[in-house]
Amino acid sequence: MFYSKERLANWLERINSEEIDIETGKGIDVFDRMLEDYIIACRNLMRSIKAREITKKEAIALINESEKVLEKSFDFGDELKGELFEITKEQMKIVLEALKLVIEGKVSKKSFDKLLNEAFKKEHEGDIEGAFESVVKIAAKVLAGEEFPEDIEIPDEDLIVVGWLDAVDAINTINVLSEIDKSEIEDDVE
């Protein structure tokens, strides 16, 4: 199983037991860790395909199965937790859709700038679905190993796209950390 109900249930338990304070930022990192765990699961699935442990077709079947896990609603009895969970779930969906594009070999050749401008333009026009798809394309490029530029222009506006970019940032971070881990392992071997 790629991302099981049990794996999500683990995170739900952690969120439930976490005390969250938005003012101090206390406990909020549980949502970041949940997203990172999901990205790692996606990367592991990609690695399994590369190592020929599973076929692309089998991987897509696993992904489709896991989508059901993310479609469920959960009640934490806490409005803030519920809100943060929904935001994180949305970011997980971006990663999931990006993973599909990578597996299907449909990673966009457009530049990050172009895709980002498309996403903002679509959001301004009220095409939220189109904006989502543009962010997914950005996420797919990063998941496939391209580095998201640090100096990219992001408007200082309260836009949905800006929030979605946290998913892209999280993928980028995991990529960088795994490269550091890899080089440390290689150093140990030498």
Q: What's the chain's average pLDDT?
A: 89
* Backbone dihedral angles phi then psi of residue 11, each to the nearest 5 degrees: -65, -35
Half-sphere exposure of 113 (CA within 13 A, CB side): 3
Q: How many residues does the chain have?
A: 190
- The residues, any chain, with a CB within 8 Å of residue 177's CB and separated by 6 or more, are none
- Please tell me the predicted confidence (pLDDT) of residue 1: 59
* Residues 142-151, mean pLDDT to the nearest whole number: 91
Residue 183: both structure tokens together: 């080089």
pLDDT per residue as tens digits for the range 54-81: 999 999 998 988 888 888 888 888 898 9
- Please tell me the predicted confidence (pLDDT) of residue 186: 47
Query: What is the C-alpha to C-alpha distance for residues 82 and 88, in angstroms, rounded to an integer?
Result: 10
**pTM of the full predicted structure?**
0.89
- Please tell me the predicted confidence (pLDDT) of residue 182: 59
Q: How many structural domains does the chain have?
A: 1
Which residues span the domain enclosing 25?
Answer: 5-189
Higher pLDDT, 3 or 169: 169
CB-based burial label for 186 (10 Å; 0-12, 13-18, 19+):
exposed
Confidence of residue 84 (pLDDT cuts 50, 70, 90): very high
**Helix (H) or strand (E) segment spanning residue 177:** helix 160-189
Whether residue 181 has pLDDT greater than 70? no
pLDDT per residue as tens digits for the range 9-47: 899 999 999 888 888 888 899 999 999 999 999 999 999
